[in-house]
Amino acid sequence: MPWSRRSAARSCLLLSEAELDRLAERAAGSGAVAGTDDDPHVFHLALLAPAATTWDIRVLTPLWRAGERYVRIGFGRTGPGPAGHRRDGAAHSELLAAFRTRDPATVSAAVERDLARTEKIALAALT
């Protein structure tokens, strides 16, 4: 299992219900990719934060930044606006629901689906 899924699987056991509620409210409030924040990685980092080490964050941040332009282009081509926000909100709801199960295998599978979805969108930007 890749380390990002391992971190998420550990984090689901550590995140408080209050933090999951806060993330759900922020994501639902704006429908944006990262809740109400401009940084598209804030939501995902918040999910990983309880289990993420400083090293994890040092590795993830440049990887996210390197791929960000392709993801933004891909998201723009696959439906910006209300439909895109609903799609992204549904993806975040799926992640939150998985984290609420407190089951590492469920979380790992949800993260894998989210990564595959994002990869597909980024690849669409390149073709």
Could you tell me if 95 and 109 are in contact, meaning their C-beta atoms sit under 8 angstroms apart? no
Q: What is the mean pLDDT of residues 10-16?
A: 96
Residue 105 host element (H or E): helix 104-126
- CA angle, corner 63, sides to 89 and 88, nearest 5? 10
Which range has the worst mean pLDDT, 23-32, 47-56, 100-109?
23-32
- The pLDDT-based confidence of 37 (bands split at 50, 70, 90) is very low
Q: Does pLDDT of 50 surpass 80?
A: yes
* Predicted pLDDT at 100: 97
The answer to whether the predicted template modeling score (pTM) of the entire model surpasses 0.85 is: no
